């Protein structure tokens, strides 16, 4: 018997518990209603259906108890909450079997109603604690419309730089997507994620954070597994993390998973900078580089070719269909690949092709993207010829040309782009005279020429040598 319980068969049968447990809930309630309605003379005919309905409900309750016990042997649940759920489930099974006997032999007819009420009460309590075990202790109360507690939502920031990384960015993600399976009552894999002390402790398989390396940290690795993989978190069918959520967690782990520090105190990668750009509102709640009109969301068919190349396609915000595209992880992205952006023409607002194989011919397609307001082309093969093609992108507001081969001639093509507000040209062939000419034509344009010099600190030149053993 113990071999069966500890073998794969026990767990296999146990996993039918979520399916079986819903049967007695509905069936026993129906039996209760049929019995109550049959007490009325006009509906007495319903009495014939009470016993078979009650018997089926009682047997399904027993089956749910058996499967639930087998599932509990896999561990990962708070013992007190689990015991309460289990004994309430057993009470439902016992009371329903007792009612079958009462009904079959017409015993204690006056006691049928109070016993039925006790069964419904036990059924409700068992269901409530079962939901807590599965989804978290506040699964029901978090959505209570008349209380003061509100469901966790993504925070909005007047200044993202002042946001606390863990409390305001990371914790809300974990609360919405991970607490349901990794909380005080349900310890899937022995892991709790509802607090930094628990996160650092890890679970049954050890720490989930590894040396500031997301790719080696289980907390991140399981987020990016295929949906078909049994180890993927959250599992298939559960609410999934958005691309922005994944990027925030990646960056947080990369920075050492700090628990009390602001965004402005940490180094930003190009990828997280894109995410943070989408979280910066202006006074009216609209980002200055975002179109004010709404568009339909992109679909998997539109983005699949880009994703296949390693290009990131991420929503800019939750309330519109606009997207940002980043080729940071696709350095081979070149001129021929630019055609893959055309299906996203209406939705694409921010495009990062920095340090890729992109050249001049790609800009003919890029200039035709009607919603594009932000374009990064730093350290690409773009020249003055490309600037001529890009001159038709009148809606462009941000342009990064750092490290490209443009000259004063290329800047002349930008003089009629009145919407342009930020231009980065450090490390190019542009001269001071060319910059001044552009500033005269576009007085509202901020031109960043780079070449900053920071004060040298003693620690910048300090050398540490390893002492011989």
pLDDT in tens, the chain (469 residues): 444 445 567 667 777 777 888 888 889 889 888 888 888 888 888 888 989 998 998 999 899 888 888 877 766 566 777 788 889 989 999 999 998 988 888 877 777 778 888 888 988 888 877 776 666 555 555 555 554 444 344 445 667 888 889 988 998 888 888 877 787 766 677 888 888 999 999 888 889 998 888 889 999 988 888 777 778 888 766 677 877 888 899 999 999 999 888 888 898 887 788 778 767 654 444 556 677 777 888 888 899 999 899 898 888 766 678 888 998 888 999 999 999 999 999 999 989 999 999 999 999 999 999 999 999 999 999 999 999 999 898 899 999 999 999 999 999 999 988 999 889 898 899 999 999 999 999 998 888 886 544 344 444 444 445 455 4
Please name the helix (run of DSSP H) or strand (run of DSSP E) that holds residue 434, with its range, or none: helix 432-441
What is the secondary structure of 389-415 as a DSSP string? Answer: HHTT-TT--EEE-TTS---HHHHHTTT
Residue 312 bridge partners (DSSP):
326
Q: What is the 3-state secondary structure (H, E, C) of 295-352?
A: CCCCCHHHHHHHHHCCCEEEECCCCCCCEEEECCCCCCCECHHHHHHHHHCCCEEEEE
- pLDDT for 280 equals 65
For residues 35 and 50, is the Cβ–Cβ distance under 8 A? yes
CA distances from residue 33 to 53, 103, 120, 425 in whole angstroms, order as listed: 11, 14, 11, 76
Angle at 276 between CA 275 and CA 281, to 5 degrees: 120
**Residue 237 region by backbone torsions, left for phi larger than 0, else alpha for psi between -120 and 50, else beta:** left
Q: Compute CA 345 distance to the chain's CA centroid, rounded to the nearest angstrom.
A: 25
Q: Is the peptide bond preceding residue 234 cis, with omega within 30 degrees of 0?
A: yes
Query: Given 3-state DSSP classes, what are the helix, strand and coil percentages for the chain, each rounded to the nearest 5?
Result: 50, 5, 45
Candidates 405, 450, 411, 452; CA nearest to 434 is 411
- pLDDT for 428 equals 92
Helix axes 22-38, 79-104, angle to 10 degrees: 40
Please name the helix (run of DSSP H) or strand (run of DSSP E) that holds residue 4, with its range, or none: helix 2-6
Query: How far apart are the C-alpha atoms of 62 and 21, rounded to whole Å?
Result: 9
Query: Which residue is associated with the tokens 């390396």?
Result: 213
For residues 279 and 157, is the Cβ–Cβ distance under 8 A? yes
- pLDDT for 455 equals 44
For residues 222 and 233, is the Cβ–Cβ distance under 8 A? yes
Using only C-alpha atoms, the chain has a radius of gyration, in whole angstroms, of: 31
For residues 59 and 92, is the Cβ–Cβ distance under 8 A? no
Q: 236-252 b/e with 16+ CB inside 10 Å = b?
A: eeeebbbbbbbbbbbbb
For residues 214 and 250, is the Cβ–Cβ distance under 8 A? yes
| φ/ψ of residue 447, rounded to 5 | -105, 120
For residues 25 and 64, is the Cβ–Cβ distance under 8 A? no
Query: How far apart are the C-alpha atoms of 185 and 70, rounded to whole Å?
Result: 18
Q: Can you give the pTM of this predicted structure?
A: 0.46
Q: Compute CA 386 distance to the chain's CA centroid, rounded to the nearest angstrom.
A: 38
- pLDDT for 2 equals 46
- pLDDT for 255 equals 92
Question: In this structure, how many other beta carbons lie within 10 angstroms of the beta carbon of residue 114?
Answer: 10
For residues 57 and 95, is the Cβ–Cβ distance under 8 A? no
282 CB-contact burial (10 Å; exposed 0-12 / middle 13-18 / buried 19+)? exposed
Query: How far apart are the C-alpha atoms of 404 and 383, rounded to whole Å?
Result: 7
Helix axes 50-72, 79-104, angle to 10 degrees: 160
- pLDDT for 406 equals 94
Question: How far apart, in Å, do the first and last CA atoms of the chain sit?
Answer: 59
Residues contacting 328, CB < 8 A, separation 6+: 270, 271, 312, 352, 354, 355
- pLDDT for 380 equals 94
């Amino acid at each position: 018997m113990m071999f069966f319980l500890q073998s794969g068969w026990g767990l296999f049968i146990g996993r039918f518990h979520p399916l079986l447990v819903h049967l007695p809930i509905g069936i026993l309630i129906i039996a209760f209603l049929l019995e109550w309605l049959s007490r009325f003379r006009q509906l007495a005919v319903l009495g014939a259906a009470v016993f078979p309905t009650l018997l089926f409900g009682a047997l399904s309750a027993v089956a749910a108890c058996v499967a639930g016990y087998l599932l509990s042997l896999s561990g990962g649940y708070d013992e007190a909450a689990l015991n309460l759920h289990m004994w309430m489930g057993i009470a439902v099974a016992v009371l329903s079997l007792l009612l079958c006997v009462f009904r079959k032999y017409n015993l204690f007819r006056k006691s049928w109603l109070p016993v039925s009420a006790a069964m419904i009460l036990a059924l409700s309590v068992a269901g409530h604690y079962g939901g807590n075990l599965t989804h978290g202790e506040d699964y029901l109360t978090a959505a209570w419309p008349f209380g003061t507690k509100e469901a966790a939502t993504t925070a909005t920031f007047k200044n993202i730089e002042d946001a606390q990384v863990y409390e305001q960015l990371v914790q809300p993600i974990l609360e919405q997507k991970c607490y349901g399976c990794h909380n005080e009552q349900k310890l899937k894999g022995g892991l709790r994620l509802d607090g930094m002390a628990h996160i650092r402790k890890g679970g049954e398989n050890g720490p989930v954070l590894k040396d500031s390396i997301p790719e080696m940290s289980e907390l991140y690795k399981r987020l990016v597994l295929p949906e078909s993989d049994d180890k993927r978190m959250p599992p298939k069918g559960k609410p999934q993390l958005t691309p922005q959520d994944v990027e925030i967690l990646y960056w947080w782990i990369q920075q050492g998973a700090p628990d009390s520090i602001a965004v402005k105190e940490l180094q930003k990668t190009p990828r997280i900078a894109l995410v943070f750009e989408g979280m910066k509102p202006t006074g009216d709640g609209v980002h200055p580089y975002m179109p004010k009109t709404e568009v339909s969301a992109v679909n998997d068919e539109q983005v699949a070719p880009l994703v296949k190349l390693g290009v990131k396609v991420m929503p800019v915000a939750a309330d519109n269909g606009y997207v940002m595209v980043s080729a940071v992880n696709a350095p081979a992205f070149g001129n021929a690949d630019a055609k893959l952006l055309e299906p996203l023409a209406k939705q694409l607002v921010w495009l990062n092709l920095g340090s890729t194989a992109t050249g001049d011919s790609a800009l003919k397609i890029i200039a035709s993207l009607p919603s594009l307001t932000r374009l990064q082309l730093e350290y690409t093969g773009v020249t003055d010829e490309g600037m001529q093609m890009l001159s038709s992108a009148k809606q462009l507001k941000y342009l990064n040309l750092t490290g490209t081969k443009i000259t004063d001639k290329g800047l002349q093509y930008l003089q009629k782009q009145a919407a342009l507000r930020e231009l980065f040209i450090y490390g190019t062939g542009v001269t001071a005279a060319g910059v001044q000419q552009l500033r005269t034509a576009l007085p509202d344009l901020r031109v960043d020429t780079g070449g900053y010099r920071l004060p040298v600190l003693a620690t910048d030149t300090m050398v540490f040598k390893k002492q011989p053993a």
